[in-house]
Amino acid sequence: MSNLKHVAVVGATGAVGAEMLRCLEQRHFPVGQLTLLASARSAGKTLKFKGEDVVIKELTPDSFAGVDIALFSAGGGISRDFAPHAVKAGAVVVDNSSYFRMDPTVPLVVPEINAEDVKGHQGIIANPNCTTAISLMALHPLHQAFGVKRIFASSYQAVSGTGAQAIEELANQSREWAAENRAWDAAKLDSKPHVYPHQIAFNAIPHVDSFLENGYTKEEMKMENEGRKIMHHPDFRASVTCVRIPVFRSHSISISAEFEKPVDLAVAREVLSKAPGLDVLDDPANKVYPLALDIAGRDNCAVGRLRLDCALGNGLSFWVVGDQLLKGAALNAVQIAECL
């Protein structure tokens, strides 16, 4: 491949697709030619890239001629059907869906953790689940220092992780409550939710993704399954509860981790402060800790509320926050492309 790359973005009109374009531009990725691909209903529309209008084309099996790198963010079905066509045409696919993540022939990559795995690709590289990627940004440096055995975690996930319709549903429900001038204790609305099984405004829904036979959801099991693959740690265990909350952007995760070695709090802070892509915001006495509102739009994740766990031997508890549209999706994909 030449220094300038022909880059295709599949799902260019979605929230993650828009962030991919922003990351490519802001990080000065060497884009020589840009192809934007979406459904037939979006074909002919334009999106801005480096101040220029780029016409969106309909995604077809023949869309990838001459493409060097194809960034996919259009769902697992689209990745299943079209990624092989991109690879056949000579492109390397960086896929944001869950479809290829656990395929043993496909690297699953967080560049700050396992960039070397990119070298083993056979045409497709997978982007991890957003909650997993954000959590591992803090957990993996600690694993390197102390050897993680298992974690107990709860995630507090923004509605933008579901998509544009979920953002609209939260906004509409909030406006409905405000327009009716309801009391704080009468926040349940008469309108029926469409995206989520229950009202999301002023609520917390312990249900992200579909339930499995073991009582966990698919989203909850991704932390263990994907964490093992990314960290090359087949014995890693994770018990997770994923909760959707009425926040527009940025996921937050509370983690209690148990390690092989005794944890020294000062060493843990030092390790985390040196970790790439991670900021330490940990001064509770002055009300300093990571907040979803503050981390939204930031490339780096942030960790705080560091404390020795009082219920686990060799345990550490912490709070990590990341923009799930960036490190949890678009930014990580572009970083993988940079590794290529």
Same domain, 163 and 285: yes
CA–CA gap between residue 118 and residue 165 (Å, rounded):
34
Catalytic residue ranges? 130, 251
* pLDDT at residue 223 in the model: 98
Separation between Cα atoms, residue 121 and residue 127, nearest integer Å: 13
Residue 182 to residue 176: CA distance in whole angstroms: 9
pLDDT for the residue 52? 95
Predicted pLDDT of residue 309: 97
Residue 204 sits in which domain range? 132-324
How far apart CA 338 and CA 88 sit, in angstroms, is 21
Q: What is the pLDDT of residue 329?
A: 96
Same domain, 196 and 102: no
Q: Which two tokens stand for residue 4?
A: 């300038």
From CA 310, how far away is CA 139, in angstroms rounded?
18
- What's the confidence (pLDDT) of residue 155? 98
Nearest Cα residue to 87 out of 128, 122, 115: 122
Residue 15 marked in a binding site: yes
Give the total number of structural domains in the chain.
Answer: 2
CA angle, 329 as apex, 83 and 339 as ends, to 5°? Answer: 70
Q: Does 217 carry a binding-site annotation?
A: no
Q: Encoding tokens for residue 260?
A: 């092989």
Quote the mean pLDDT of the chain.
Answer: 96
175 appears as a binding residue in the annotation = no
Question: Does 14 appear as a known binding residue?
Answer: yes
User: Do residues 155 and 146 make contact, with C-beta atoms less than 8 angstroms apart?
Assistant: no
Among residues 112, 76, 117, 68, which one has the least CA distance to residue 96? 76
Is the entire prediction scored with pTM above 0.85?
yes
Instruction: Write out the H or E segment, with its range, that includes residue 92.
Output: strand 92-95
End-to-end Cα distance, the chain = 10
pLDDT of residue 2: 60
Is 249 annotated to bind ligand? no
10, 148: one domain: no
**Are residues 114 and 169 part of one domain?**
no
Q: What is the pLDDT of residue 221?
A: 98
Residues 303, 319: one domain? yes
Q: Is 76 annotated as a binding residue?
A: no
Radius of gyration of the chain measured on its C-alpha atoms: 21
Per the structure block, which two tokens stand in for 173? Answer: 């429900």
CATH of the domain at 37: 3.40.50.720
- Domain co-membership, 94 together with 137: no
Ligand-binding annotation for 90, yes or no, is no
Tell me, yes or no, whether 121 and 168 share the same domain: no
CATH code for position 222: 3.30.360.10
C-beta neighbour count of 20 within 10 angstroms: 30
Residues 102 and 163 in one domain: no
User: Per-residue confidence of the chain (340 residues) as pLDDT tens digits?
Assistant: 468 999 999 999 998 999 999 999 999 999 999 999 999 999 999 999 999 999 999 999 999 999 999 999 999 999 999 999 999 999 999 999 999 999 999 999 999 999 999 999 999 999 999 999 999 999 999 999 999 999 999 999 999 999 889 999 999 999 999 998 777 777 899 899 999 999 999 999 999 999 999 999 999 999 999 999 999 999 999 999 999 999 999 999 999 999 999 999 999 999 999 999 999 999 999 999 999 999 999 999 999 999 999 999 999 999 999 999 999 999 999 999 999 9
One domain for residues 123 and 164 = no
Residues 299 and 212 in one domain: yes
Q: Write out pLDDT tens, residues 260-277.
A: 999 999 999 999 999 999
Residue with tokens 């093992």: 228
Answer yes or no: is 13 a known binding residue.
Answer: yes
Same domain flag for 93 and 18? yes
Rounded distance, CA 283 to CA 198, Å?
A: 36
Q: What is the pLDDT of residues 282-322, one digit of tens each?
A: 999 999 999 999 999 999 999 999 999 999 999 999 999 99
- CA dist 215 and 198 (Å) reads 19
User: Does residue 169 share a domain with residue 51?
Assistant: no
